[in-house]
Structure 1
Amino acid sequence: MPLAEHLRELRNRLMKSVLAILAVTIVAMVYYKQIADFITEPVRESIGCTEGFGTAAEKGEACAEITVNGLVAPFTIMLKVALTTGVVLACPVWLYQLWAFLAPGLHNHEKKYARGFVAAGVPLFLAGAYLSYITLPAAAKTLIEFTPDETGNLIPLDDFLDIVTRLVIVFGMAFELPLLLVMLNFGGIITGRKLLGWWRIMVVSITLFSAVATPTGDPLTMLALAAPIVLLYFAAVGVCLLNDRRRRRRDPYAGLDDDEASPLDHAPEAVGAVESVETPAALPESTPESTPESGPARRNGYDDAT
């Protein structure tokens, strides 16, 4: 298609994705209190001050209360909760729209792989989001333990939702990394052997990414994000190695580099018997030279001109 058609197609796919997210967001606005309670319940059970600050301080326990500050804060919280819910629950739609935009440029066998990638991408994203949900209470309890004695800790709900949103997006997108590596391998861009040789660099990079991307910054959350990604990375390497073996079985030249020279056979070969050379036949005698009366001389039937 021309460039204008591609841009029009991209606009239509984006609009469908936005409409799907908007539809789920509107529904989530109606039930945002139940959703907010579902999000905060594990944390409240982990660090909540059920008996008040004073009683908890007397027992030597650190606790916190989730509060809402300001007149406009409840409305802002509703928008955050609803939008986060819309992005997470509408992921099958916008992932499908992304695949539909790329599908016209793929071959039939590549379309088959793309469908499998989209089908695997949705549960991976949801698995990352769920892991962040079950990790946050333990991380919050660890951080609350640093609260000084005989003091209380108030957690603004909007700040807490910001942390939850970042965790959900970071965990969900990070779980797509192995899928991206498998896509590059199936496309013939990178080999499984090369990915396996990068394992030290990848482990260090994943650890640094987890330390920077987690909003809480505690070691527990960082480890909870890094460990599954490392395991998924090695699982992706295994899939890539199996695919490379299957590809070599079908095509013996699949593993050769385009810039690699072909191997040459330098083994000497046996020399055969010497062939005899026959003596050439004698040339016929030349005709007499030309004379003015006889015209130009001819040799073997040809004169000087011919």
Structure 2
Amino acid sequence: MALSDHLRELRARLLRSALFLIIAFIVALVFYDQLLSLVMDPYNDARAMLGDDVQTEAYIKSATGPLLLQLKLCGVAALVASSPYWLYQIWGFIVPGLHDNEKRWSYVFAAVAGPTFILGVLTGYYVLPTGLEVLIGFTPEGMQNLVEFGEYFSFLTRMLLVFGVAFEIPLFVVMLNLAGVVSGKQLGRYRAWLILGSFVFAAIATPSTDPFSMLALAVPMVVLFIVAEIIARLVDRRRGRSAMSEVGDDELSPL
């Protein structure tokens, strides 16, 4: 297509995505109470684990705070809920320009990336109460801990995003292997450094300071790296067999 046709197609896809996002935002407003309960559950669980040791309360500051809270929470929920649709629109715009081999691997990447990201987010949501318990537990005796909801919501979204993105890193390693950038043998040679790097990354990336959150992020990353190494070695072995099968009768074998 001509450049103007590509731009018209892009505009149409952006408009459809924006319309779908608006509809998802309206639906999120209807289920605002359920969304607020879902967000507050980790904090309430942390309060329950602390018991009477620390007095802590969540609050909203300023007169416009409740309205901004509702808009922000529903906006994030709409963005996440509508992500399959607007990602599909981006996908539909990019895929026609790829070669057949690139399309095949991109389909595999799209099929695995979504569930892996969701698994990371769920893991972060599961360990969040423990992280909050540790952080709030540093409150000195005789003082009350007041948690501003805007800061808490930013902390929660950052925590979940870190876990989701971290679970995608081994998948990118596999894609680099498929592209011929790294080999399974190289991954095995630097396995110890990858494991150490996973723990260092987990210690730096997790907003909380408790070791449980760090381990909950680092251990799955190490397991996924090992799985990525196994897949890379299988791909390299298959690639080597294909190269040997293409050697002619009068050509010198790689061996």
Q: TM-score range by the shorter chain?
A: 0.7 to 0.9
CA distance in 1, matches of 2:2, 2:40: 49
Matched, 1:191 2:168: no
Which of 102, 106, 115 pairs up with 2:98?
Answer: 106
Aligned residues: 250
Shift of 1:242: 1.0
Letter in 2 for 1:85: A
Letter in 1 for 2:33: K
**Could you state the TM-score of these two structures normalised by the residue count of structure 2?**
0.83
**Could you state the TM-score of these two structures normalised by the residue count of structure 1?**
0.70
Structure 2: where are the runs of 5+ without partners?
247-251
Residues 211, 236 of structure 1: alpha-carbon distance in 2 compared, 3 angstrom cutoff: same
158-167 vs 96-105, which deviates more? 96-105
CA distance in 2, matches of 1:264, 1:225: 42
Matched, 1:23 2:23: yes
CA distance in 1, matches of 2:166, 2:120: 8
Q: Give the structure 1 partner of residue 32 of structure 2.
A: 32
Residues 182, 6 of structure 1: alpha-carbon distance in 2 compared, 3 angstrom cutoff: farther
Letter in 2 for 1:28: A
Q: Give the structure 1 partner of residue 238 of structure 2.
A: 246
Shift of 1:36: 1.0
Q: Give the structure 1 partner of residue 88 of structure 2.
A: 96
Describe the superposition over 1:189-232 as per-residue Cα deviations: whole angstroms up to 9, x where unpaired: 33222233333333343333333332234433233222212221
Shift of 1:19: 4.2
Structure 2 SS opposite 1:155: strand
Structure 1: where are the runs of 5+ without partners?
255-261, 266-306
Query: Alpha carbon RMSD of aligned pairs, Å?
Result: 3.0
Matched, 1:126 2:118: yes
Q: Specify which structure has the higher proportion of helix.
A: 2
Q: Give the structure 2 partner of residue 67 of structure 1.
A: 59
Q: Give the structure 1 partner of residue 41 of structure 2.
A: 41
Q: Give the structure 2 partner of residue 219 of structure 1.
A: 211
Q: Give the structure 1 partner of residue 77 of structure 2.
A: 85
Shift of 1:67: 1.8
CA distance in 1, matches of 2:36, 2:253: 66
CA contact (8 A) 1:91 1:122 kept: no
Residues 229, 93 of structure 1: alpha-carbon distance in 2 compared, 3 angstrom cutoff: farther
The answer to which structure, 1 or 2, has the higher relative contact order (CA under 8 A, 6+ apart) is 2
Which of 228, 235, 255 pairs up with 2:227?
Answer: 235
Shift of 1:243: 1.3
Q: Give the structure 2 partner of residue 269 of structure 1.
A: none
CA distance in 2, matches of 1:9, 1:213: 39
Shift of 1:74: 0.9
CA contact (8 A) 2:120 2:163 kept: yes
221-230 vs 207-216, which deviates more? 207-216
Shift of 1:18: 4.4
CA distance in 2, matches of 1:99, 1:195: 30
Q: Give the structure 2 partner of residue 271 of structure 1.
A: none
Shift of 1:3: 6.1
Letter in 1 for 2:23: A
Shift of 1:50: 10
CA contact (8 A) 2:118 2:164 kept: yes
Query: Which of the two has higher C-alpha Rg?
Result: 1
CA distance in 2, matches of 1:153, 1:79: 26
CA distance in 2, matches of 1:107, 1:161: 42
CA contact (8 A) 2:134 2:209 kept: no
CA contact (8 A) 2:29 2:74 kept: yes
CA contact (8 A) 2:69 2:150 kept: yes
Letter in 2 for 1:179: L
Q: Give the structure 2 partner of residue 210 of structure 1.
A: 202
CA distance in 1, matches of 2:243, 2:200: 39
